[in-house]
Amino acid sequence: MAATHNQQRMMHLNLFIMGCGHHKGAWRHPNSSVERLGDIRYYEELAQIAERGKFDAVFFADGQAAVNVSDGSPWFLEPLTTMAAMSRATEKIGLISTVSSTFYTPFHAARMMASLDHISGGRMGWNVVTSMFDMEARNHNYQAMPVHADRYRRADEFVDAALKLWGSWAEDALSFDRAGHYADPDKVQPIHHNGEFFLVDGPLNVPRPPQGHPVLFQAGASEQGRELAARRAEAIYAVAYDLPAAQEYYRDIKRRVQEAGRDVDVPIMPGLVTYVAATEAEAKAKQRELDEMLPVAASLRQLGLFIEQDCSNWDLDAPMPELPPLSEFTGPKGRYSTILRIIETEQPTVRELLGRLAAGGGHCTMVGTPKQIADKMEHWFNNEGADGFNLMPPSLPYSIEDFVEQVVPELQRRGLFRSEYETNTLRGHLGLTKP
């Protein structure tokens, strides 16, 4: 629910953890943590830094294929396993992971997420996604990825079945009556779900999670993605290159949520890449230093994936060639429309576009002093661009330490961000009621 009794509306901040950072060249930096990617303490420390900054949550995306291993992979440890450990190294901060509705089954996902909600004392969130790439599909018994519309129908049914499973135990089902029942059999019911994609009898073999169910996040930019978000999402990750793009998405989703008849203020958090330093020149130098670490062949391959063309022979210092309009593009539309917008606004050379996409793939990028960055964040926050941000640090742990030590105090001084946690659950941090 929205803020009550004249409380000032507060910004939400998440740390999006990705390997050595979101910049594709970050792992090559001499000070990077690349040797620690398999060390659970590295992830525990990142969560502790974010908790010190009073962040709402940390977030992991996930992938189901090993991509270009020579170019630095964002995956090492499986996220849900990792979060079990991170929950024990922290006390308050939320823990959100992507779980693919394309490859998991509802029972498997609901069971793991419910377990983690119990382990963490009510701090789990689930970013509901449909996977995208054939190389992932071929690791999971598919010849190729199912078509877009089928993936979204499956995702919708997947969420439906998972919610039923989490609700299959009543809040007060556990009686622990040593002379009678461990649980009241009338309060643990099968769900008998029989849909297009899934047959799930239930009930779940984990009692009701502390939050009722983990917070449902969603991040779709396509028409089906927005529809799913409007009906299901309790919080949303967005891609917005600039404020006009952010406002279009923000207003559209808020309108759809209302039209879906939901009385809930769904927080929207665009991705944000920041380079922070005491002066703007120093911040730009940090950005340039990472851009110079960029592996060019891999970056051209990634661009090729995003735009579904072979770019391997493109002249790096020539202007970007013209791309087909959004209406003709068959791949993931959110990022593609962002790339079109960057080209239209900045008219970059191929090399400049690669640098721009290297950190955060077209998400908003802010480079400057703590005051400059707080100014821009405040402007988005007050002008229907964002309810908060999903921070995508270009390098880890350095960029997030910079943000927590320099930008967070500036936001707190302005009364835009909490100085202490007021609740112990992710739902509480996000101002959401328990279902």
Mean pLDDT of all residues in 59-87: 89
* Cβ contacts of 83-88, under 8 Å, gap ≥ 24: 83/116, 83/120, 83/124, 84/116, 84/119, 85/40, 85/43, 85/44, 86/43, 86/44, 86/47, 86/58, 87/116, 87/119, 87/120, 87/121, 87/123, 88/119
Q: What is the largest CA-CA distance in the chain?
A: 79
**Weakest-pLDDT range from 3-12, 60-69, 77-86, 191-200:** 3-12
Mean pLDDT of all residues in 54-69: 91
Nearest to 118 by CA among 90, 87, 141: 87
| Beta strands 57-60; 94-100: pairing state | parallel
pLDDT tens digit sequence for 324-368 = 999 999 888 877 988 998 899 878 889 878 888 888 777 899 999
Dist CA 244 CA 417 (whole Å):
23
Mean pLDDT of all residues in 42-69: 94
Residue with tokens 């030590």: 405
pLDDT tens digit sequence for 177-215 = 999 999 999 999 999 999 999 999 999 999 999 999 999
| pLDDT above 70: residue 5 | no
At 279, list the tokens. Answer: 């002066």
Dist CA 180 CA 405 (whole Å):
55
Give the Cα-Cα-Cα angle 307, 317, 281 (nearest 5 degrees): 100
CA distances from 100 to 25, 75, 345 (A): 27, 15, 34
| pLDDT above 50: residue 267 | yes
Q: What's the pTM?
A: 0.91
At 96, list the tokens. Answer: 């959100």
pLDDT tens digit sequence for 286-328 = 988 988 888 888 889 889 988 999 999 999 889 999 999 999 9
Are the C-beta atoms of residues 293 and 28 closer than 8 Å to each other? Answer: yes
Q: What's the confidence (pLDDT) of residue 4?
A: 43
Q: What's the confidence (pLDDT) of residue 72?
A: 72
Phi and psi angles of residue 236, each rounded to the nearest 5 degrees, phi first: -135, 135
Nearest to 266 by CA among 433, 88, 424, 58: 433
Are the C-beta atoms of residues 371 and 238 closer than 8 Å to each other? Answer: no
Q: What sign does the dihedral 203-207-212-218 (CA atoms) show?
A: negative
| pLDDT above 70: residue 3 | no
Q: How confident is the model at residue 1 (pLDDT cuts 50, 70, 90)?
A: very low
Q: What's the confidence (pLDDT) of residue 184?
A: 97
Q: What's the confidence (pLDDT) of residue 212?
A: 98
**Weakest-pLDDT range from 21-25, 87-91, 193-197, 355-359:** 355-359
CA distances from 181 to 166, 169, 219 (A): 21, 14, 42
Q: How confident is the model at residue 390 (pLDDT cuts 50, 70, 90)?
A: very high
| pLDDT above 90: residue 228 | no
Dist CA 191 CA 202 (whole Å):
5
Please tell me whether the peptide bond between 185 and the residue prior to it is cis, using omega within 30 degrees of 0.
no
